[in-house]
Amino acid sequence: MFKLIIKRVLKDKLAIAGLTFIFIVFFIAIFANNIAPYDPYKINVYKVLEPPSKEHILGTDELGRDVLSRIIYGARVSLKVGFIAMGIAILTGTVLGLIAGYYGGFIDTIIMRFVDVMLAFPTLFLILAVVAVLEPSIYIIMIVIGLTGWMDIARLVRAEVLSLKEREFVLAARAIGASSGRIIFKHILPNAIYPVIVAATFSVGGAILIESGLSFLGLGIQPPEPSWGGILSIGKDYITVAWWMSLFPGIAIFLTVLSFNLLGEALRDALDPKQWAED
Amino acid sequence: MIPILFGITLICFFVINLAPGSPTSFTEELSPKASPEAMEALKKLYGLDKPIHERYLNWLRMVVTLDLGKSFVDGRAVKEKIKERLPITVTLNLISLLLILIVSIPIGVYSALKPGSIFDRVLTVFVFTGFSIPTFWIALLAMIVFGVNLGWLPISGIQSIGAETMPLHERLLDWIKHLILPVTIMSFAGLAGMSRYTRSSMLEVLRQDFIRTTRAKGLPEKVVIIRHALRNALLPVVTLLGLAIPGLIGGSVIFESIFSIPGMGQLFYASAMARDYPTIMGILIIGALLTLIGNLLADIAYFIVDPRIRVKRDV
């Protein structure tokens, strides 16, 4: 099954493009110290707000720092936040969805009401409230984005579990006396995992978008740490004189998020049984 | 509905009590100049000498009577502050919701009728862009292009200085000019989602037997599409509208602060920066309430447009 899925994903040209770009961003993030032409924190008062040139390919910011170097280092923040927030959301959503779907009854009601309550809040409001109350830091941001993004996954997993637990192989496992834990982890989870993988791919992109929005509002990654949203935030103040600060970090965010979305879409198609028939 | 409302208040209360130390000491530390009255109001608001469950119940009692407390920043009633901001935000959101519907449904239907056509492919590209692009970034670019370079549209506020003295039609024109950028960009992400959803919903319906039957009967294509297919395809879209509301309201924080629109989102942003807890809590609750009202309206609309639900009820 797994090999087949990879084969199907690799048939999709857009997915390959997305995957390649994700690898590039990873590479840039890991080797940022070697790739970046300048120190991203280095202030140079003689080179303030310089337009793109041979020396500074993407120009310099309001403190004379090299924008390209700051974008390169910013990739670290985006990937860290994207993946860890996704991990938290997937873990929370899967666990709660499994419990709700498997045990049903009162526990199910409580968990699903909780999902309804969380969904009633405009996500950005809830995130901003928490970040405002606690000091904004990269860890708080990861956790908060994760803890406000698990509801759809819980619903998804619950629905999968509800249909799986009535299937014959699960009933058979129960008939031979398998424990609940064994049924959940050996029989239900492996069969419910594929839609979760698709949701996980999309949620990395979503988390990166939210983080950049928070940093743009000044309640995300705090300066001088470079982040894509943070550069845009300063760019807004120099919108009339330094367009390069507003243009390039946005392209980085857009392409990264787009890559995760393209990959997610390809995975979804690859896992859609309706399309299996066409092969 | 009631348990959800109860849950909403619990979460609001929990979030604010995440603050390290007591809320008053935190404020004292941050703004040593906080007036004694504000500190008094604060202590009274939280009743900090009491255990946490009692504090929650006291606060809940206030919220139920729609008393949201007083702002730390200017000592005004939070209810009043929200009341003067809410109409702008709701109006903007309603206009963009309307725009989303008017534009995305025809687009979705058209591309469902011609799957694989150039139009359909362009839509797919547009959808992916809409989902992946940071909306605040488009707002910035649009400000640079239309506001700074071309100078066609104003980039901040909802009216020009001295608009009060203009005659009515000029004022209206001025207002519309200020709203074009924010509303268009607010609708952007929603447009992508909604047209994609309409498309897949329409494709689903077009595949069904009753559509083949209507065609076989020899009904004109227009009737088949509009009267039979579209009406059924729009059912799930109604639900999606309800679900889109929290996103739109949440997004108002970003748009209102970019375009300096004096709405609830901007107030929330300012309160978050100033750690004005009562206002933060008040807006959180109002935001969640708006979502619930939106969902309720979507349910009612669904009830009206889908006769099957009514039939089920009678049985």
CATH of the domain at B196: 1.10.3720.10
Backbone angles phi, psi at B70, to 5 degrees: -115, 145
Residues B239 and B147 grouped into a single domain: yes
A149 vs B contacts (CB less than 8 Å): none
Q: pLDDT (tens digit, 0 to 9) for every residue of chain B, 315 residues total?
A: 788 888 999 998 888 877 665 555 555 555 656 666 776 666 666 566 667 788 788 888 888 888 888 887 788 888 889 999 999 999 999 899 899 989 999 999 999 998 888 999 888 888 888 889 999 999 989 888 888 788 788 777 777 776 677 777 888 888 888 888 889 888 887 888 889 889 999 998 988 899 889 888 888 888 888 888 888 888 888 878 777 788 888 888 998 988 888 999 999 999 988 888 889 989 999 999 988 888 888 888 888 877 777 666 554
How many residue pairs bridge chain A and chain B with CB atoms within 8 Å of each other? 142
d(CA B130, CA B184) in angstroms, rounded, equals 13
Q: Is residue B78 part of a domain?
A: no
Are the beta carbons of A196 and A223 closer than 8 angstroms?
no
CB contact under 8 A, A236 and B20: no
Cα–Cα distance for residue pair B37/B53, rounded to 1 Å: 25
Q: Give me the pLDDT at residue B148, please.
A: 78
Residues B242, B94 within the same domain? yes
- Residue B279 lies inside a defined structural domain of this protein: yes
Chain B residues whose beta carbon lies within 8 Å of the beta carbon of residue A247:
141
Number of domains in chain B: 2
Tokens (6 digits) for B170 = 């000029």
Indicate yes or no: CB of A219 within 8 angstroms of CB of B272.
yes
CA distance B80 to chain A (A): 19
Q: Is residue B80 part of a domain?
A: no
Whether residues B96 and B243 fall in one domain: yes
d(CA A131, CA A220): 8
Cβ within 8 Å, pair A258-B272: no
The pLDDT of residue B24 is 55
Report yes or no on B96 lying in a domain.
Answer: yes
Select from B284, B266, B280, B305 the least CA-distant residue to B88.
B266
Same-domain pairing of B215 and B130: yes
For residue B312, the model assigns a pLDDT of 61
Q: Considering only alpha carbons, which residue of chain A is nearest residue B12?
A: A126
Residue A239: its chain B contacts at CB < 8 A? 140, 143-144, 148
pLDDT score at A140:
92
Cβ of A129 and B284 within 8 Å?
Answer: yes
d(CA A108, CA A158): 9
Q: What are phi and psi of B289, to 5 degrees?
A: -60, -45
pLDDT band at A279 (very low <50, low <70, confident <90, very high): very low
Q: Is residue B252 a part of any domain in this protein?
A: yes
Residue of chain A whose alpha carbon sits nearest to that of B277: A133
Identify whether residues B221 and B273 lie together within a single domain: yes
What value does the mean pLDDT take over residues A241-256? 93
CB B179 within 8 A of CB B95: yes
B180 belongs to a structural domain: yes
The pLDDT of residue A145 is 95
Look at residue A209 in the predicted model and tell me its pLDDT: 95
| A112–chain B nearest CA distance, Å | 10
- Please report whether residue B71 resides in a domain: no
Report the amino acid identity of residue A72: I
B283: left (phi over 0), alpha (psi -120 to 50) or beta: alpha
Contact residues, chain A to chain B, C-beta under 8 Å = 113-114, 116-126, 128-134, 205, 209, 212-213, 216-219, 229, 232, 235-236, 239-240, 243, 246-247, 250, 253-254, 257-258, 261-262, 265
B237 within 8 A of B201, measured Cβ to Cβ: yes
Domain shared by B22 and B138, yes or no: no
Q: DSSP code of A222?
A: P
Q: Which of A114, A128, A262 to mutate to test the interface with B (most CBs of B within 10 A)?
A: A128
Are both B25 and B128 inside the same structural domain? Answer: no
Burial B85-117 (b: 16+ CB within 10 A, else e): bbebbeebbeebbebbbeebbebbbbbbbeeee
From B200's Cα to the closest Cα of chain A, the distance in A is 14
Looking at the predicted structure, is the pLDDT value of residue A86 above 90?
yes
Angle between helices A105-120 and A67-103 (to 10 degrees): 150
- Section A255-268 average pLDDT: 94
- What is the CB neighbour count within 10 angstroms for residue B209? 8
Residue of chain B whose alpha carbon sits nearest to that of A209: B134
Q: Among residues B94, B100, B91, B89, which one has the least CA distance to residue B187?
A: B100
Pair (B119, B39) in one structural domain: no
Same domain, B215 and B296: yes
Three-state DSSP class for residue A66: strand
Mean pLDDT in residue range A233-257: 92
pLDDT exceeds cutoff 80 at A264: yes
- In angstroms, the CA B259 to CA B155 distance is 6
Do both B296 and B172 map to the same domain?
A: yes
Mark whether B35 and B184 lie in a shared domain.
no
How far off is chain B from A143, nearest CA to CA, in Å? Answer: 13
Q: Are residues B152 and B91 in the same domain?
A: yes
* Model confidence at A137: pLDDT above 80: yes
Identity of the residue in B144, B271, B275 whose CB atom sits nearest the CB atom of A239: B144
AA letter at B52: I
The answer as to whether B234 is a domain residue is yes
Q: B260: domain range?
A: 85-310
